[in-house]
Structures are given as structure tokens and as C-alpha cells.
Amino acid sequence: MDVKAGLLLVMLVFLAEQAGTLFQGRLDRFETVLEWVSILSLIAGGILAIVQLIPKKYKVLSSPIKYGKWLDDLKAHYSKEQDPEANALQFAEHTDIVQAVERVEENIELNRKKVLLVKLCFYCVSVSLTANLLCLAFRHLFPSYR
């Protein structure tokens, strides 16, 4: 995701430079609308790309040292049962699976948000590019209109 957002930022900078060149001088009403569409899309796309690049805190597995003490406490808790070690390991396995599923679900949700931001940024780049190309086409296809 970060590479895509970086590439989109490069495209945004290119389009901003292109828009600055295209929309110089006297503009008619159509070109002024295209200029505003392009600039607002560039601003929105830049903000979306930067927000997407903000580091996120992903859920990861805890330190193994923490689990050693926790497992010892579990064994002590189940010490009065017939097979304390098996019960403790079964509980630990179940807990580990539940926590792994929770971590994966939270990380997937973070990635969904990042993907959405990249998609929206891409749409902004597309809108700006389209506005710039329309302006270019308008100027070259209808030079007498100006």
C-alpha cells in the first residue's frame, strides 16, 4: 500500500505541475471550471495519500517471555485436576487461537481503511488528469473559441 501511495503522490506532483502550466494566462469559463476541478482533486488526493502513509499500529504476537509466566500460572491453576498440564495447554491453545483471530481481524480492518484511502486517492488523480486532458484537448480542438 505504501508504495502505491508513494507513486500516487509522485503522480499528484506531476499533475500539479501540469495544471500550473496548463492553466496560465487568460482562461474562459470552461477552463476555469476545469482548473478548479483539477486543483481540488489534487488537494484531496494529496491529503488522502499522506493520511494513508501515516504509520499504523498493527497487532502482533506478544513476547514469548510473557507466555512462560502465563503458562506457569495456568498449570498452577489446573494443578488440582487429573491432567493439569494437558488442561493448561488446551486452554492456552484455545486462547492463542482466539487472540490470533482477533489480531488478524484488526489488521485486516486497518488494511481495508488503507486500501480505501488509496482508491480514493487514485480517483482524485484520475479526475485531475481528466480535467487537465480536457483542457488540453479543448485548447487544441477549438482554438478559435478562445
Give the residue among 109, 129, 92 at the shortest CA–CA distance from 17.
129
* Total domain count, the chain: 1
CB 121 within 8 A of CB 45: yes
Give the residue among 36, 34, 43, 33 at the shortest CA–CA distance from 12.
43
CB 58 within 8 A of CB 102: no
Sign of the dihedral through C-alpha 67, 73, 78, 82: positive
Q: What is the pLDDT of residue 113?
A: 92
pTM value is 0.69
3-state secondary structure 76-119: HHCCCCCCHHHHHHHHHHHHHHHHHHHHHHHHHHHHHHHHHHHH
Q: What is the pLDDT of residue 128?
A: 92
Q: What is the pLDDT of residue 8?
A: 81
Q: What is the pLDDT of residue 145?
A: 64
Mean pLDDT by 10 residues, the chain (146 residues): 76 82 80 90 90 83 68 72 74 79 90 92 92 86 72
Domain assignment of residue 106, given as a range: 2-145
How far is residue 125's CA from residue 122's CA, in Å, rounded to a whole number? 5
- Locate 102 and state its grid cell: 482477533
CB 2 within 8 A of CB 111: no
